[in-house]
Amino acid sequence: MKSTCLFCRLPAERILAEDGPCLAFRDGFPVSEGHTLIIPHRHVASFRDLTPDEWAAAHRLAQTIAANLQAADASITGFNFGANDGVTAGQSIFHCHLHLIPRRAGDHPAPRGGIRGVIPGRADYPCPHQPPPSPRHQFL
């Protein structure tokens, strides 16, 4: 499988960043400008197969790339971060990859519910309109 996997044969010039066992590159079919994929070097299909070291590296890459994207583009005010895991979840390349999707005000007419929208009608649910302040950002 590794020899036919697009992500295992990724050209070096596409790589944006690396952190030990993981790397990041821009999505070839981006949902928004800056849409980035984070993958382990090791060929595994599911996030459930990642080692603790791979998870930690993927998380660090997501944080670093998100910070860099926001520093370069003040219109980015949020992110969606997640995986399509398995055929029924929409996975199309079976090398584990995590999507980091920058979001901007107005990029969707009704963004509330975020990734819950993958199943039609499930994004709209009772919730407060104003999110509580994030402890990470309340002192900035």
Element (H, E) at 57: helix 52-72
Clarify whether 129 is annotated catalytic: no
CA distance 34 to 30: 7
Local confidence pLDDT in tens for the 140 residues of the chain: 567 999 999 999 999 999 999 999 999 999 999 999 999 999 999 999 999 999 999 999 999 999 999 999 999 999 999 999 999 999 999 999 999 999 999 998 888 888 877 777 777 767 655 555 555 544 44
Tokens, residue 79: 């992110």
Q: Which of 59, 95, 97, 129 is catalytic?
A: 97
Name the class of domain 2-112. Answer: alpha beta
Domain ranges, ordered by start, for the chain: 2-112
SS3 2: helix
Output the six-digit token pair for 96: 């584990």
The structure's pTM equals: 0.86
CA-CA distance, 24 to 48, in Å (whole number)? 19
